[in-house]
Chains A and B, each alone.
Chain A
Amino acid sequence: MTTHLFDRLVASKSRLTPVQSQYRVVFENPDDPEACAAILVPDPNWLAAALAGGVLPPIAAYLRDQAKMAKWIAEHPGRSFSWSEVGGAEHPYADPIGPMSEEEAIEYLIKKDLPQQVWAVERNRPYFKIVRAEMVPADRSYRNAWRLAA
């Protein structure tokens, strides 16, 4: 039986050095056009595990879980979701995948942590961009007015 993802994360944290990503993902949500741009920052311990391999489940397991959760929530408006309602989650027990490059890890994170309407639907303009960390402005005076440049 595959070890639970949490146990694999515990083991990887004890042996791997955190890796600061050189990338950020700037995105806007097409379903919330008034919102300012958001910036995804990969976690250093997660990235170390992604680069090492043998820890994280395949992204398809997360996506199947997201679909299962979204279906249940749509069918049960007003109720709070629990994995016990749908027979448990797949991703904690899925067999881990091998090492990724940093670029592959960023693509994995986009699918896992960005809303699907940002990356899964073809639109007339891109709603996310992968940028180098130093391209994100340090001056946050007008942070809540930031938009994704065309």
Chain B
Amino acid sequence: MSTLETSNFKDRDSGRSVPAIYPVDGSAKARCVYRQDTGVTFASFNISSFVDVAVGQTTTNFASAFQAAYGYALGAGSKGSSGIRFISSINDTTNSTDLLGWNSNAAADIIISAVLVGDLA
């Protein structure tokens, strides 16, 4: 594997630039598309396992841990479903987070679509 070393990326036409550290630190470090009722993983990265804790509650364990328990952000939604559905997270640690699926105001098994952004350990 070869490595390109640089400190800045610059667009030739517009002249706009971004430091190399920006995509390094700003890109998603973990992601998943996971169906909570069947345990099927449609897509994933940097996840070692999912734990079905209860209806609508899934622990997502990271293969490579994040730097800090409150050092990463979750962006999430529910795929392939209509109605009011959303996802929240609890029990954040550097190694895992619990993703909660909700249908209106009740816990429900949904298809979780999530990305996690932050610095790694």
Contact = CB atoms under 8 A, between A and B. Distances in A.
B113 interface: no
Nearest to A82: B68
A40 interface: yes
Interface in B34-63: 37-39, 41, 44-55, 59, 61, 63
A140 B39 CA distance: 12
Q: How large is the interface on B (under 10, 10 to 19, 20 to 34, 35 or more residues)?
A: 35 or more
Interface string B66-87: 0111110000000000000000
Nearest to A143: B55
B39 A83 contact: no
Contacts, number: 114
A82 B67 contact: yes
Interface residues of A, number: 42
A43 B47 contact: yes
Contacts of B64: 4-6, 9, 91-92
Nearest to A8: B64
Contacts of B90: none
B4 interface: no
A56 B63 contact: yes
B69 A81 contact: yes
B94 interface: yes
Contact of B51 (A38, A44, A46, A89): A38
Contacts of A130: none
Contacts of B1: 11
A113 interface: yes
A100 interface: no
Contacts of B61: 112-113
A92 B65 contact: yes
Interface of B: 1, 29, 37-39, 41, 44-55, 59, 61, 63-65, 67-71, 93-96, 109, 120-121
6 nearest A-B pairs in the assembled complex, by CB-CB distance: A82-B68, A89-B121, A83-B121, A39-B52, A41-B39, A43-B47
Given A69-B95, A113-B61, A144-B54, 6 more contacts: A4-B120, A41-B51, A46-B44, A80-B70, A82-B67, A140-B37
